[in-house]
Structure 1
């Protein structure tokens, strides 16, 4: 999922106007001001014409602080989005699948330490299957390559949805990207395999287990697989923003996705999901601790991805949850446990600069009563500078797709695509190997050292949420 820049000027004007409302008569309470500000944010994004429709839900201490929809769910703009609109939640599904795995472990039906071979003895590479455990599949530490780019494109050409044999054919001749526990690489394949294992372990369909473990205990009437909702009124199709025009999207054809995505929900029901994890409705305290524990890799790097959860820190607030989307972020669900605040944003438009990630960040600042940060660029020692400059890459990217960290002629640190002609993004040093991006002020880069003080990579965070690990290659 790519993040796109967008014009902030009008947003700042809106915020400035709202700040003036802080001195409004005392009969307008703080929650009322929060609602007004979020309304302004939502209306602003719709007015820009780059997103067709979306919903925002905010829960605080279990109560609904905000629940509204903006825009439309049809290109003719005859069907307004409502609070009952159901959207694809895409990879937010991964958090649901991981919670199902923890529940099945509580029920004694499987274990996080079970091998892939135990449950899928027909897996095409027996040696790999005997090393890979369930916990690797749902933490992206298995080393199994991601199927998405290859099989998604094949589906668009042939129209034939992949099945078990298709996935196995994709996997069988491919080496692992790394040995289990020795790296981190986002793998939809791991969650597809996990859905297969859930069916083997329970004897039920994956869809039925979603209902049994999550939907029924949480009383989620809207949570279901997308193909179950597809022909119903009130579910939003997916649209594309392309060449300044919003059109239909091929993503509605991908109704076969299961495990790594595929679920659909309303924003309000989705916002309640973390509460079910946190209050014991879905899993017990010990299981939640496992889900929210950062992965300590064998090479010494600790990454802020738990079991099906992206974690991090949003302007001083611990958070966990997940994102979902493709060229842009369609869904953003994050829970801040110390504040007991859950914020869900679901968007029906792909490839838009005004995606769920951007909207979520603006809403979260308002709910927390914070302003967009202004960072000072702290001095950097020659020792640290010498360590961090160099080339980095995601482990599953080809060798030519590198990211370069370098010192510009102005003395500042920058990061850019190695082959890009642009200057890249200026990094502001926050201290201790942490940097904030200049354009996206709530994004972070955190460098990792090994046991002998060498920089071995850096983690990327968007709006405080872990997005990926880039390894240093020189």
Structure 2
């Protein structure tokens, strides 16, 4: 998504954290069981809507190529005259990064691109050639380029002036900005690499970005993913709203956004994507595996992000996909490879605690048959031989840059932001649960000497942030 809020309240629901009871994948359900599940999901959706946090939302669940569930809740307007239907189109936001990276892999297969090509080779007019010769295409689509976040400046200028930014506006920003770290040495979620990715695809393919989406995605699969510049005036495109107190304020479509967040679709249409993406419809299976593989930094530390893909786990099961949003998460696509099951949630409301992450968590837990029993948390004793203590720094501008891991007098570790500390419960395998954020997970990367090198934070299952230990052990 374009930015992350300071510690999302909703994160990972995993068996190793909350003492979960799992219903194993079952044989084909009877009609009565299906009806019962649909009734539960309908009731859950209505309850979420009645909570007042969103104007409207849409949910799709697919098992393989079968539609398991698809519903719209609420409205596209605050006068409540236009209901959300299964045909309502929403913004993918940063889920577009995953789709765009799929275009890149197709061009790599066709011999038109290489992941090792530099930004200078791909965009010879890039205004900062000394930086551009160090940054590769792989860096740009894995958030390891070190590029500064353009959105912090360009977005605010657009909000102030209402004038769409030009290519020259972006180039002026990059020319005047330093890298925040050496390419490949760290991870920072950043829209800039994907903005440039869109420019690169258009230059190399000699086609508009929408034409490449049509060629690689829409035509092979019979889909209709549309960039917002084309979809904004379509009758089925939902308006967007920002929640401010008890009011919902109209939020305009940013039609200039492309590679880093510009696509739109219905929930059920997007839910068709993961199955076809993972089985060779759009790109070869080898390219798919390359996309989902977490990138490894120059110091050997592994991130939880591939090429346009978030990795993670939910209730202990592997998931891949992406999230999207602005002030809060309003789009999420989650694929369970082992179950061959996809969840898509879109909402048309920003800046709300009733985020797409939260809705996904509730619907997935209900559909997959998990229950939460916090009293049964399987706590593990802390291994005193492992050194976790120290200060850890991340690079996301919207999250506290540095946190400290401290040891209390009771021998329990704490996650500290400034003077405020939260006890951490060890769940084994260097994983910790923090009661303040009951659905989130913190994992440590530890070397052979038992010394922590970095920590990774997971929100609602998906990898979100890497923080490296400032003083690395010898």
Return the TM-score normalized by structure 1: 0.89
Distance in 1 (alpha carbons) for counterparts of 2:414 and 2:188:
24
What secondary structure, in the 3-state scheme, does the structure 1 residue paired with 2:70 have? strand
1:64 CA displacement: 0.4
Question: Which 10-residue stretch deviates more, 230-239 or 73-82?
Answer: 230-239
Q: Deviations over 1:361-406 (max 9, x none)?
A: 111122222223632332213333xx32332222254998422333
Match of 2:161 among 152, 158, 165: 158
What does 1:127-276 align with in structure 2 at a 5 Å threshold? 127-221=130-224, 223-249=225-251, 252-276=252-276
Match of 2:440 among 434, 439, 443: 443
Distance 1:451 1:188, change over 3 A: farther
Name the counterpart of 1:23.
none
What secondary structure, in the 3-state scheme, does the structure 1 residue paired with 2:94 have? helix
Name the counterpart of 1:74.
77
1:333 CA displacement: 0.2
- Give unmatched runs, 5+ long, in structure 1: 7-25
Q: Deviations over 1:210-232 (max 9, x none)?
A: 111112212113x1011211122
What secondary structure, in the 3-state scheme, does the structure 2 residue paired with 1:77 have? coil
1:101 aligns with 2:104: yes
Q: Is the 8 A contact 2:108 2:115 kept in 1?
A: yes
Match of 1:469 among 443, 461, 466: 466
Q: Whose RCO is larger (CA < 8 A, sep 6+)?
A: 2
1:33 aligns with 2:36: yes
Name the counterpart of 1:380.
382
1:37 CA displacement: 2.1
1:359 CA displacement: 0.7
1:116 aligns with 2:119: yes
Question: Which 10-residue stretch deviates more, 359-368 or 286-295?
Answer: 359-368
1:57 aligns with 2:60: yes
Return the TM-score normalized by structure 2: 0.89
Name the counterpart of 1:316.
316
1:327 aligns with 2:327: yes
Distance in 1 (alpha carbons) for counterparts of 2:453 and 2:41:
40
1:126 CA displacement: 1.5
The alignment of Structure 1 onto Structure 2 pairs a total of residues equal to 448
What secondary structure, in the 3-state scheme, does the structure 1 residue paired with 2:353 have? coil
Name the counterpart of 2:24.
none
1:281 aligns with 2:284: no
Q: Is the 8 A contact 2:239 2:348 kept in 1?
A: yes
Distance in 2 (alpha carbons) for counterparts of 1:331 and 1:396:
20
Distance 1:302 1:84, change over 3 A: same
What is the root-mean-square deviation in Å for CA atoms of aligned residues?
2.2
Question: Which 10-residue stretch deviates more, 332-341 or 410-419?
Answer: 410-419
Aligned structure 1 segments of 4 or more residues deviating by more than 6 angstroms: none
